Structure 1
Amino acid sequence: MQEVTLYTDGACKGNPGIGGWGAFLQFGIHSKELYGGEASTTNNRMELTAVIQGLAALKRPCIVHIYTDSQYVKNGMQEWIHNWKNRGWKTAAKQPVKNVELWQALDKEVNKHQVQWHWVKGHAGNIGNEKADQLANRGVESLAQQQIQALQTDIIDHENNP
Structure 2
Amino acid sequence: MSNDFLDIYTDGACKGNPGVGGWGVLMRYGSHEKTLKGAESHTTNNRMELQATIEALSAIKRPCKIRITTDSVYVKNGITQWIHSWKKNGWRTAQKKPVQNAELWQQLDNLVQQYDIEWAWVKGHSGHPGNEVADTLANEAIEQWREQHQG
Where on the TM-score scale, by shorter chain, does this alignment land: which range? over 0.9
Gaps of 5+ in 1: 150-162
Say what the alpha-carbon RMSD is for the aligned residues: 1.2
Return the TM-score normalized by structure 1: 0.89
Rg larger in 1 or in 2?
1
Shift of 1:148: 2.0
Q: Hey, what's the Cα distance between the residues in 1 that align with 2:148 and 2:115?
A: 34
Alignment-derived partner of residue 52 in structure 2: 50
Aligned AA for 1:114?
D
Deviations 1:3-47 (A, max 9, x none): 200000000000000000001000011000000000000000000
Q: Hey, what's the Cα distance between the residues in 2 that align with 1:106 and 1:139?
A: 21
Alignment-derived partner of residue 159 in structure 1: none
Is 2:78 aligned against 1:76? Answer: yes
Alignment of 1:95-114 (within 5 A): 95-114=97-116
Q: Hey, what's the Cα distance between the residues in 1 that align with 2:88 and 2:148?
A: 41
Alignment-derived partner of residue 24 in structure 2: 22
Deviations 1:54-97 (A, max 9, x none): 11100122211000000000010111000100111111111110
Q: Hey, what's the Cα distance between the residues in 1 that align with 2:141 and 2:105?
A: 21
Q: Hey, what's the Cα distance between the residues in 1 that align with 2:97 and 2:64?
A: 34
Gaps of 5+ in 2: none
Deviations 1:94-137 (A, max 9, x none): 11100000000111111111011100011111000000000000
Aligned AA for 1:130?
E
Aligned AA for 1:60?
R
* Structure with the higher helix share, 1 or 2: 1
Alignment-derived partner of residue 64 in structure 1: 66
Please, which of 2, 9, 12 is the counterpart of residue 10 of structure 1? 12
Q: Sequence identity, in percent?
A: 56
Aligned AA for 1:31?
E
Higher deviation after alignment, 105-114 or 35-44? 105-114
Q: Hey, what's the Cα distance between the residues in 2 that align with 1:145 and 1:111?
A: 37
Alignment of 1:80-159 (within 5 A): 80-149=82-151
Return the TM-score normalized by structure 2: 0.96
